[in-house]
A = this chain, B = another copy of it.
Amino acid sequence: MALIVKKFGGSSVRDAERVMNVASIVTDEYKKGNDVIVVVSAQGDTTDDLIEKAKEINPNGPSRREMDMLLASGEQISIALLAMAIETLGCPVISLLGWQAGFNTDSHHGFARIKNVNPERMRAELAKKNIIIVAGFQGLNKYDDLTTLGRGGSDTSAVAIAASLKADRCQIYTDVDGVYTADPRKVPNAVKMNEITYDEMLELATLGAQVLNNRSVEMAKKYNVELEVLSSLERKPGTVVKEKVKMEKTLIRGVAKDTNVSRISVVGLEDTPGVAFKIFNKLAQQKINIDIILQSVGRNNTKDITFTTSKDRGDDAVAAIESMKDVLEYSSLTVDNNCAKVSIVGAGMESNPGVAAKMFEALYDANINIQMIATSEIKVSVLIDADYADKAVRAVHDKLVD
């Protein structure tokens, strides 16, 4: 007998038919003799509808505390409906709100962090052989006020439950049937992987693969929770995310692109110590996250520093550097918002230097110019013109994945 945690997103429970479908997946698992805890998000567009209602009353944005009170009702509706659906299939079931399931969070309304999960009530319900339906995305702070966890919060709720009860597996049901080596809508040859490591998944999630929320993967890695990404519409195995995976033929696990990139170049800096420190210390003070950094030798004993940040912080970064004009000499400052980062991810890469070379070859064959290069132990990223991003992903993918 195993304990399985299953998480279903909003589109999986968007109407009565989909709710019944989820109920049937859940009761099939229960009838195998397993304990089942289910985490659900709000139905389909419920959250957007509630946000719309709030905007109608306060277009300038209501307090986050009341927003949490409002939004938490969405999951309350979906847990009750799913429990009712499971009742019709004749299995014992009980729905629990976040606080009833023991979710204690900090007080950052709108993006609260889980402090701990007190599994007492869930244990008692499992002992009664109840299927448990838990409202994802929500918890309670120390003042007894409702909080929500922010985007992807339901994934995190599911992993937190799996961790606190040492579940055998945490299954994240989505619209896709697993994690692919690239976006299958863009890359026809994309391959579904059977297994992938936490670190690979984290790199892919950060790079915008949008299958799993980053925080949930981090938490799964920390507590060694075995994750599975699978489809709620097809009954077949998905992709398992865990610490170590069997080596497969292909060295890389994914090709991802990220077009939310600004490239800022500071040209003609004085070539003295402390210049890089001044720039990045200033940016850190302003909470501007930097991704790739490249420093090169410029003309006449100067140097150039180029770095990337997310598009929404590009202007802030430029302003920050301009504000240092009196302590920092440079000849020009440029920002480019039309660039994309294309990355390959794979745990086996570090022991196989040929992989990066193959990536560069693929781009050369496709006549795509590389602006910047960054590497980590399990990742190679290149910065290119955004107009060629999809073409680059296809070229790199077809060269490296067979």
A-to-B contact residues, CB < 8 Å: 16, 19-20, 50, 53-54, 56-58, 60, 62-63, 65-67, 69-70, 72-73, 76-77, 79-81, 83-85, 87-88, 94-95, 97, 100, 121, 144-146
A69 touches B76 (CB 8 A): yes
B72 touches A87 (CB 8 A): no
B84 touches A63 (CB 8 A): yes
> Measured between C-beta atoms, what is the minimum distance from A143 to chain B in Å?
9
Selected contact of A57 from candidates B65, B84, B100, CB within 8 Å:
B84
Number of copies: 2
CB within 8 Å for A58 and B100 given contacts A53-B81, A83-B66? no
Distance A90 CA – B62 CA, assembled complex (angstroms): 12
A81 touches B70 (CB 8 A): yes
B100 touches A144 (CB 8 A): yes
> Measured between C-beta atoms, what is the minimum distance from A276 to chain B in Å?
45
Which chain B residue has the least Cβ–Cβ distance from A83?
Answer: B66
Distance A253 CA – B275 CA, assembled complex (angstroms): 88
Which chain B residue has the least Cβ–Cβ distance from A53?
Answer: B81
Distance A180 CA – B63 CA, assembled complex (angstroms): 42
A58 touches B88 (CB 8 A): yes
Distance A56 CA – B66 CA, assembled complex (angstroms): 30
Which chain B residue has the least Cβ–Cβ distance from A76?
Answer: B73
Chain B residues with Cβ below 8 Å from A94 are 65
Chain B residues with Cβ below 8 Å from A88 are 57-58, 60
Chain B residues with Cβ below 8 Å from A50 are 77
A57 touches B19 (CB 8 A): yes
B87 touches A20 (CB 8 A): no
> Measured between C-beta atoms, what is the minimum distance from A22 to chain B in Å?
11
Which chain B residue has the least Cβ–Cβ distance from A15?
Answer: B56
CB within 8 Å for A57 and B20 given contacts A66-B80, A80-B67, A100-B144? yes
B73 touches A58 (CB 8 A): no
Distance A126 CA – B355 CA, assembled complex (angstroms): 66
Distance A94 CA – B94 CA, assembled complex (angstroms): 30
Chain B residues with Cβ below 8 Å from A87 are 58, 62-63, 66
A76 touches B80 (CB 8 A): no
